[in-house]
Amino acid sequence: MTPIEVDVAIIGAGSAGMSAYKAVRQHTERVLVIEQGPYGTTCARVGCMPSKLLIAAAEHAHAIAHGAPFGIRVAGMVVDGEAVMARVRRERDRFVGFVLETVEGWPAAHTLTGRARFVAPGVLAVGDTRVHAGRVIIATGAVPSVPPGWRDRLGDRLIVNDDVFDWTTLPASVAVVGTGVVGLELAQALHRLGVRVRLFGRSRRVGPLTDPALQAAVTHWIEATLPYSGNVGEPDVRRDGDGVVVTWQGADGEHSERFDYLLAAAGRAPDIAGLDLDKAGIPLDERGRPTFDPATCRIGDTPIFIAGDADNDRPVLHEAADDGRIAGHNAGRYPDVRAEPRRTALTIVFSDPQMAIAGASHAELTRHGTAFAHGEVSFADQGRARTMGRNLGTLRVYGSPADGRLLGAEIFGPDAEHLAHLLAWAIQRGDTVADALAAPFYHPVIEEGLRTALQRLAKALRNGG
């Protein structure tokens, strides 16, 4: 077959690849997007959107089950699993539909279906087709990590988050292994929807927060809220008829429990194994992953770029879109490669209470040896949180003793997603604690909890950190 020759080849048509394509086209029409599977992004198909749909149902069920303190009683709550999953799938399909509409608007010559692998620098094989590309953008995304052997042992009773959103009803029981974002969000949502859940943590750590005070608050909460077994290492799992039996060592000896499914939520890894990157002429680290510059998304000094979850750096949607834009422009106008400013870091877990990190985490400040003081607030007696019966959690905000600037914050509490935006924007502008305290705080709002923490941070900074 005649080889295809393009200026830019993009491997993967997810969020990063689509964003890259849009940017590349501002520079050249000689572009090819290579996608191996069905179109649609991780976000829309199996990530952000369907998880928020499941969580919305779970929050309704939770509100209904907890109306009594407010004077609202209900008789006979029924979680109709088919109806719950029908809404999740219907709305998910709608979001995916928007993605497909976009892709369908692309010229046919700009897309190629198949699995791409490098055969030489600048040369890709896609089935029988050779693609010669001046520049390549790797935007293959990530796939759920499953411990070795589990798929063989558990068969179709081993599921990952992707599978959950294709359910046509809710199962009776699920073991969730992994206490990262995906594990936490799904375990809590399924639990609230009446599914018998047990959450297994391989270490003691729960969620992304790194401040020891926040980790303690989160651990205390998860132990009080969910059937939870932490620090179990890799539990023993085996197939048992139509189910799965998990055996683990607790503080008080060995336990076994049987579930309909085991949901492996042990993180996601870049989907780069089949790319034959060793033939791409790019620098790889000891794990075989490309080393790249986040300001340009360029791998070493090569014409190869990487964007989105494939780069294993900040695997969240808005960063993937930025990656794609930066990689796309740089690949499009290559060799004029420009460094772009990145946004202040922002991570959110849509648990209840939510978790969030804005700017630098406690671990990052510590790792970099940055001098910092903190201000803390508990939401236990925060006025607005208490009126809503959502008075649980802790917030810590970090500031610099050198110049009073805000450095970062870790949040476990109500409306953390909104507090995190407020803080991330303030950090990005270089605001000091005094700047933030001069801004308006309405009453009664959750933001007043942040004000208390900022006042304490100001005091700590006055007292020498």
Among the listed residues 139, 317, 395, 407, the single contact to a second copy using CB under 8 A: 317
Distance CA 417, CA 146 (A): 29
Among the listed residues 42, 379, 431, 449, the single contact to a second copy using CB under 8 A: 431
Among the listed residues 312, 378, 417, 432, the single contact to a second copy using CB under 8 A: 417
Q: Which is nearer to a second copy, 368 or 443 (CB)?
A: 443
- 444 near a second copy, rule: CB under 8 A: yes
Q: Which is nearer to a second copy, 78 or 108 (CB)?
A: 78
Closest CA relative to residue 164, chosen from 62, 47, 269:
47
Among the listed residues 233, 380, 439, 459, the single contact to a second copy using CB under 8 A: 439
- 355 near a second copy, rule: CB under 8 A: no
Among the listed residues 6, 31, 46, 61, the single contact to a second copy using CB under 8 A: 61
Q: Which stretch binds a second copy (CB under 8 A): 325-333, 363-371, 379-387, 457-465?
A: 379-387
Distance CA 323, CA 88 (A): 29
- 168 near a second copy, rule: CB under 8 A: no
Distance of closest approach, residue 278 Cβ to a second copy, in angstroms: 34
- 105 near a second copy, rule: CB under 8 A: no
- 442 near a second copy, rule: CB under 8 A: yes
Please, is 152 exposed, middle or buried when counting C-beta atoms within 10 Å of its C-beta (0-12, 13-18, 19+)? Answer: exposed
Instruction: Sort strands 31-35 and 111-113 into parallel, antiparallel or unpaired.
Output: parallel
Dig out the tokens for 402 from the structure.
């050198």
Distance CA 111, CA 265 (A): 32
**DSSP bridge pairs for 11:** 34, 138
SS3 81: helix
- 273 near a second copy, rule: CB under 8 A: no
Q: Which stretch binds a second copy (CB under 8 A): 129-137, 228-236, 343-351, 454-462?
A: 343-351
- What b-and-e string marks burial along 105-120, b requiring 16 or more CB atoms within 10 Å of the CB? ebeeebbbebebebee
- 143 near a second copy, rule: CB under 8 A: no
Among the listed residues 8, 53, 158, 337, the single contact to a second copy using CB under 8 A: 53
C-alpha dihedral sign at 254, 257, 258, 259: negative
Interface with a second copy (CB under 8 A), residue total: 75
Distance CA 178, CA 205 (A): 10
CB 444 within 8 Å of CB 383: yes
Distance of closest approach, residue 80 Cβ to a second copy, in angstroms: 5
Binding positions for a second copy, 383-412, rule CB under 8 A: 383-384, 386-389
